[in-house]
Amino acid sequence: MTILYDPSRSLLWVVTRIHGTLVPLVLRLPTFWFMMTIEVFILMVDTRMYYRCVEDGVPPEERTWEEECHLPPLDWDAIQLPAGLLVFFLVFYGDSCYVRFYEMWAEMSSLVTIVLEFCFQVHLVFPEHEHANTKWRAARIYLAALCMLFDMLGGAVTVENPFDGDGVDENEYDALLKLELLTEKELMAMRNYRGVKCALCAKWALDILKKEIKVGSRKDTRAKYMDDFEHLTIKFQRQCYTIILQLQQPVPYCYFHVLKLQMIMMMMLLGYALVNVFEGNPVETFICYIVVVGTMLGLQEIAVAMSDPFGDDDADFDTTHMMSVLYDNVKELYNADTIWTEGSDAKLTYQKRRRFKDFGVSIHGYHIEDEVEKYELKKGLTAGYGQKGKVVKKIDGFVWGEIEMVWSRRGQAGRRVLQASL
């Protein structure tokens, strides 16, 4: 699920967090523990050679290469080329998955917007509260269509035939029933349908509206809106097909295979080279190796998670929260309390000379307090500054200077000097 965070947090607070970071992501990888095992084995061999030399008591200058106290050295320059190739492959793969992730988010945002637009337009066509059941019958099926799409994308959509309707299990069908989005009969038809189930739901919602609106009648003024409903339904189905097909085309497997091969070879070479770099210091060697390998594997796993943003990973879309907000908003929209009635207190009159600054309010931004401390003129004079930002004193009807304002935003406070001409 998506983890929201405050980028203004301190560095110490950020680095001490564990949930949603690389640490749990890497620690559950068998590859990480496999590479740690190999590194420990190399360190044990190197340490054993060193202590054997100490026990023999032969001076280092009198030893042959077979009797060295450490493993044969590996020139650090020899691993620079494969290290550069690995960084290129890893960055390119991560960038491709990152772009794909936000393209998916744009498609999902467009899809949610279509559902909201459909539900709101139904509310406009049937504004009276006595049509609440009609509005909800059409809206609930559209919401069920979106839930069905999320269930399919988070499930096992097959590559061979992504439109065969797989990916929805019985628990997800029961959730639709508990949410009162589909009836038992509709769920039975949905289970037997071997196609894109969300498209079928959208078609049902359109059929409900066609029964309520007399399309061929001139007396029913609502008939002119059917073209808009049909356009939204076609657009909804097109978005569903687009998202499903995009998930079937990840980064080519040959590229992914080369990346994995490069990573395995590079981590082994790096583990051996670090033993020579930190000669006789196994603790420093192991710590450095953990940091480097953990970072590389973590970046790769983040890219893999972003390539398929539907599921239960930390980087995946929070579709449950999205549906919860959408469901509650549609229910609130069709509530009887939203029917507008103009009362005597709502008849606000038009006043030409009233401006926004005259009301002394702020819209989630810098707030200038009523009392501004001072007003310094360029000529060295000082004029008082009173309530609501009105200049107490002017010189020749025109004032230039600097205003020192007290401002606050998100709990912060300070002073700011702005150039002003009043």
At 276 the pLDDT is 81
Angle at 278 between CA 275 and CA 281, to 5 degrees: 95
Is residue 304 within 8 Å of 313, Cβ to Cβ? no
Using DSSP, state whether 70 is helix, strand or coil. Answer: coil
Rounded CA separation 138/208 (Å): 6
Which DSSP letter does residue 406 get? E
Give me the residues paired with residue 413 across strands.
408
Rounded CA separation 4/374 (Å): 41
At 32 the pLDDT is 93
Give the pLDDT of the chain (422 residues) as one tens digit per residue.
677 777 888 888 888 888 878 888 899 999 999 999 999 998 888 887 777 776 666 555 555 544 566 777 787 778 888 888 888 999 999 999 999 898 889 988 899 999 999 988 888 888 776 678 888 888 898 898 888 888 888 765 444 555 665 667 788 888 888 888 888 888 888 888 888 888 888 888 888 888 887 766 656 667 777 888 889 889 998 888 888 888 888 888 888 999 999 899 999 999 888 888 887 788 888 999 999 999 999 999 889 888 888 877 778 888 888 888 888 888 888 876 666 666 555 556 666 777 777 777 777 654 444 434 444 434 344 444 433 344 444 434 434 344 444 444 444 444 443 333 33
Q: Which of 136, 111, 113 is nearest to 123 (CA)?
A: 136
Q: Which of 152, 154, 176 is nearest to 166 (CA)?
A: 152
Measured from the Cβ of residue 327, the count of other Cβ atoms closer than 10 Å reads: 17
Q: In what order do the strands lie in the sheet with 400-409?
A: 382-383, 374-377, 400-409, 412-421
Rounded CA separation 241/162 (Å): 9
Buried b (16+ CB within 10 A) or exposed e, 52-77: ebeeeeeeeeeeeeeeebebeebeee
- What are the angstrom distances between the C-alpha of 190 and each of 172, 185, 209, 244, 311? 12, 9, 20, 18, 22
Q: For the CA atoms of 396, 399, 401, 403, what is the dihedral angle to 10 degrees?
A: 140
At 338 the pLDDT is 62
What is the bridge-based pairing of β-strands 382-383 and 412-421?
Answer: unpaired
- Entry pTM: 0.71
Rounded CA separation 412/405 (Å): 14
At 346 the pLDDT is 53
Which DSSP letter does residue 315 get? T
Unique residue bearing structure tokens 């200058």: 61
Is residue 103 within 8 Å of 246, Cβ to Cβ? yes
| Long-range Cβ contacts of 292-297 (<8 Å, 24+ apart) | 293/32, 293/35, 293/36, 293/267, 294/22, 294/23, 294/26, 294/32, 295/22, 296/86, 296/90, 296/263, 296/266, 296/267, 297/26, 297/29, 297/31, 297/32, 297/263
Rounded CA separation 102/109 (Å): 10
Give me the residues paired with residue 418 across strands.
403
pLDDT tens by residue, 132-141: 888 888 889 8
Q: Which of 213, 386, 318, 244 is nearest to 2 (CA)?
A: 318
At 246 the pLDDT is 85
Residues 6+ apart with CB under 8 A from 32: 26, 293, 294, 297
Tokens of 418: 């702005």
pLDDT tens by residue, 267-312: 999 988 888 888 778 888 899 999 999 999 999 988 988 888 887 7
Q: Which of 309, 421, 380, 334 is nearest to 143 (CA)?
A: 334
Q: Which of 418, 322, 314, 320 is nearest to 376 (CA)?
A: 418
